[in-house]
Each structure stands twice: as C-alpha cells, then as structure tokens.
Amino acid sequence: MNGSDVIIIAPLIAAIATAIAILVVDIVVPGRTNAVIATALIGLGVTAVVTLTVGSMPPTTAYGGAYKLDALTTFLDLLFVAVIAMTIVFAPDYLAPRRLPVAEFATVLVFAMSGAMLISASVDLLLLFLGLELMVLPGYLLAGYHKSDSYSTEGAIKYFLLGSFSSAIFLFGLAFVWGLTGSTRVADVASVLTQVVNHTLPFSPGLAMGFAFLTTGVAFKIAAVPFHYWTPDAYQGSPTPVTGYLSVGPKVGAFALILRLFVEALGPMKAEWLPVVIVLAATTMTLGNLVALTQDNVKRMLAYSSIAHTGYMLVGLAAYAGGQPQGLEGLLFYGAAYSFMNLGAFAVIAALQKRAGVTSQLATFAGLGRKEPWLGVLMTLFLLSLTGIPPTAGFFAKAVIILAAVQAGGWVAFLAVLLVVNAAAAAFYYLRVVVYMYMRDPASDAPPLRHGRLMWGGLTAATAATILFGLFPGLLLGMISAAAGALTAAG
C-alpha cells in the first residue's frame, strides 16, 4: 500500500468512515434518531464530494491493477450515494411507529453501499466477489430488519438462502476461470479470451463451465427469469423502505458487476454470449409483466415489475453485444432513472404505512388522490414514469434502449419490439393503481397522516430527478456517455 493508492480509494474510505461514524454516534448518544440521520447525511455528502474530487483525476488503477478509477466508477458511486441517502431519509417515518431503531438501519445500509462502490471500481474477479458479498450480506439483515414480524423474517430467509446459494455458484465459476486463465484480473481474462476467439488457444470445457456458473450466479442476483423465485417474497416481506432499497441498490450493483464481467472480461466473446442475454431478457421482461398483472398487493406487484425492468436493462446489454455501444448508455441511464422513480414509489407506500397495520394491498390506495392529494400526485408521477410516458425520465430511458436495440438489428431488434409490447402491458397494472387512487372511495374515514419533513424532502428529490432527467436528459447523458466510453475502451 502506498499513498496514491489510498487517495484513489478515498470514496470507499469515506463510505466506511460514514458507517463507523453512525455507529459511534449511536454508542455515545443511543437512540437519538436526529443525530444519527444528520451524521449519515453529512457523511454521505462528504462521500459524494470526495467521489467527485477523486473522479476529476485522470483514470488510474490502484492495488496492482485490481481497483480502477474511471468515469463509470464515479457515476455509479454517485448514484449509490443518492440511493442510500434517499433510503435513509424515507426510513424514519416507517421505522418509528414500529419501534425499530434507525441507527442500525443506517449503518448497515451504508456498509452495503461500500460493497456496491467496491463492485463499481473492481476490475478483478475476486474483488468483484468480495464487493458483491459486502453488498448483499447487509441486504439479508435489512430484509429481516423487523425481526418480530413473521413476513419480514420469512422474506429474509428466502433472500438469504437463495442469495448465498447463488454466491456459491458464482464462486465455483470464479475458481475455474481463475484456475484455467491463470489470473483473476478482468483484463487478463479478456486477453486469454481474445486468443481463444482467434483460435491461438483452445477453449477448454472447464472454462465454458466456469463462465456458465458465473453467469448463473449473476442472473440470480439481478433476479432474471428463471432465477427470480426469491424476489416476490423477499420484496413483499421486507419493511417497505428496505424493499425500495433492495429493488434498486443491489440491482444496480449487480448490473455494475455484469458490466465489468460481460463487457470488460467477456467482451471478446460477445457474439457467443449474445444469444444467452437475448433469451434471458425476453423471458425476464415477459414473465415479470405477466405475473405482475395478477397481483393485488402493490409491493408484490412492484416486485414483479422490477423483474420486468431487469429485462429492459438486459436489452441494453444485448444491444451492446449486437454492435451498438449506445446500448450501454441506455442501460446506465435506465439504471439511474429506475432508481429514482422506483424508490419514490416505494417511499409513497412507506409514507402510507406510517400508520401501523396498514397493508400494501391495492385497496389501501382507494381514494388516496382526494384524501392526500400530494401523495396521490407524486405516486401517479412515479407510476407514469415506470410505465414510460413522456416527459418523465422513464420514457427517455426506454427510448434510448429501444433506439439502440433497433439499430443493432437482428434478434435484438425483435427484443425492442417485445419491449414496446411489454411496456404497453405494464401500463395496465401501473395505471390500475392510479384508477384506484382517483376513482374509488376511500375505505376508511381515518384522518390524513402527517408526514415528516425528511419524507417530503426525499420525495421532492425523487420527483425532481424523475422530471428533470426526463425533460433535460442532457444533465445525465454527458456523464453516462463518458462512463460507457470508459467501459468500451477497456473491453
């Protein structure tokens, strides 16, 4: 270790220091929610500033080429910081009535963020695995955060068992790829594969098996069909702010892993893995949407719809493999837009559940538009954005991916058609919630709830992002094309 290495990993250090600071605050003054949240937000702000400062340096590597600082790292780190900050802001309104502590929640969440940030910067298979574990282990704990609630623990155990099962599969693949290529560095794996593609090296069955296992492990993590079985229960059972985080943070983190793995390591073989991604994307978005249509529980419905969104993002990857680098830009833009709109939708559910005992059934939303007009308007906006209606961020995200897929041609263009059909089908179940909010009478006469200032602040941020990135996508596109450029230059 030397001085410049420490500077390059400064964002990671800032993230971990934030988590530790929250713990220390809770040790010194236990049970002070405001102090905890202030510490967390200040720490995250510092992390964002450090990320930006370090990110303005020219791209470099640290720790013998295992850790890479480039535009992709900076972009994803900032996205993770935003996601975690919003989740922490949304949490107290849900946690306080259920007597759940905020300090542990924030600490564990920030530790998960440091894992995601490690993924976004790793160009070494082993470090990618470590980052993945550091990201998902806190996720298991968070899913079971309401430990006296039997739904929460049930979701947690399903998430944990299938999650660690997939980690073992991923690791088995890693062992074989490492043993047969002789290195865990992404670039070395890529150079071996280039030789394989040029027929200067034989392609051993062990290597093929290794990549198959790696792909399966990652497919579990992003909940692609047919590896999605843990998703609905884990999402429905978890406390609502946690569900919001789980549907966004680990998903974007796992996509960061996919980018580093498929684009950088497996880049030379993209013609070979393209069919796999096409099949995964087609089944994932179709099945996710079909099952979402039949759900009466909004949290469960959004869980299935998040599976469908995974499929849309995979279309971006397929477009890249089909020869259109803009596909990666689409994937990254979709990840960012999806983060804000999905977190916003879950925040509205969490706000409604401030009154303990309120379920996330569709009936809860009846008459919401008249009873709590602001929440109704915001929920409508987020759902419209998830559907992909202009001028929201969701529309532009879908547009970029569809354009790239159409230009790629062939079977990828077929995926674009399937995406449009799916988005139309998805409109049905998203808009059903809107219909309930404005055309049904409220089920109970309970007076409207008062929501905390933090909740309103977080909702405002999510709304602003959803609208701004829809109206002025250029705000984000510059960073994203730099990030995608860094990826393709390496791959």
Stretch that binds another protein, among 143-151, 254-262, 325-333, 481-489 (CB under 8 A): 143-151
Q: Which is nearer to another protein, 107 or 380 (CB)?
A: 107
Judged by CB under 8 A, the residue of 52, 182, 417, 478 near another protein is 182
Contact 169, 209 (CB under 8 A): no
Decide if residue 133 touches another protein (CB under 8 A): yes
Bridge partners of residue 68, in order along the sequence:
61
* 148 vs 200 by CB, closer to another protein: 148
By beta-carbon proximity to another protein, the closer residue of 168 and 443 is 168
For the chain, give the longest Cα–Cα distance: 75
CA atoms within 13 A on the CB side of 479: 18
With contacts defined by CB under 8 A, how many residues of the chain interact with another protein?
Answer: 50
Please select the residue that binds another protein; options are 130, 363, 403, 482, rule is CB under 8 A: 130
Draw the binding track, 219-248, toward another protein (x: CB under 8 A; -: no contact): -------------xx--xx-----------
Toward another protein, which CB reaches closer, 154 or 272? Answer: 154
Are 223 and 307 spatial neighbours (Cβ–Cβ below 8 Å)? yes
| Contact flag: residue 11 with another protein (CB under 8 A) | no
Report whether 178 contacts 184 (CB < 8 A): yes
Q: Which of residues 273-302 bind another protein (CB under 8 A)?
A: 295, 300
Alpha-carbon span 313 to 315, nearest angstrom: 5
Min CB(59)–another protein separation in Å = 25
Using rule CB under 8 A, residue 357 touches another protein: no
67 vs 140, beta carbon nearer another protein: 140
* Residue among 410, 391, 388, 392 nearest 401 (CA): 388
Distant-in-sequence, close-in-space partners of 390: CB < 8 Å, separation ≥ 6: 396, 470
Q: Which residues contact 8 (CB under 8 A, 6 or more apart)?
A: 54, 57, 60, 61, 62, 67, 69
Asked if 353 interacts with another protein (CB under 8 A), we say: no
Phi then psi for 88, rounded to 5 degrees? -65, -35
440: left (phi over 0), alpha (psi -120 to 50) or beta: beta
The one among 34, 165, 275, 435 contacting another protein by CB under 8 A: 165
**Part in contact with another protein (CB under 8 A); list of ranges 166-174, 255-263, 358-366, 432-440:** 166-174
Which position among 32, 149, 325, 407 is part of the footprint of another protein (CB under 8 A)?
149
Residues 6+ apart with CB under 8 A from 420: 402
User: Quick check: 248 and 83 in contact, CB under 8 A?
Assistant: yes
> What Rg, from alpha-carbon coordinates, does the chain have?
22
By C-beta, is 129 or 262 nearer to another protein?
Answer: 129
Question: Taking CB under 8 A as the rule, which mask of x and - marks residues 30-69 in contact with another protein?
Answer: x---------------------------------------
Residue 135 as a binder of another protein (CB under 8 A): the answer is no
Q: Indicate which single residue of 1, 58, 441, 445 sits in contact with another protein (rule: CB under 8 A).
A: 1
What minimum distance in Å lies between the beta carbon of 155 and another protein?
8
Assess contact for 107 and 84: CB atoms under 8 A.
Answer: no
3-class SS string, 299-325: HHHHHHHHHHHHHHHHHHHHHHHCCCC
- CA–CA separation, 223 and 231 (whole Å): 7
The correct pick among 153, 194, 216, 407 for binding another protein (CB under 8 A) is: 153
140 binds another protein (CB under 8 A): yes
Is residue 161 a contact residue for another protein (CB under 8 A)? yes
Asked if 326 is part of the footprint of another protein (rule: CB under 8 A), the reply reads no
- Interface positions with another protein (CB under 8 A): 1-2, 20, 23-24, 26-27, 30, 126, 129-130, 133, 137, 140-141, 144, 147-151, 153-158, 160-161, 164-165, 167-169, 171-172, 174-176, 178-179, 182, 184, 206, 232-233, 236-237, 295, 300
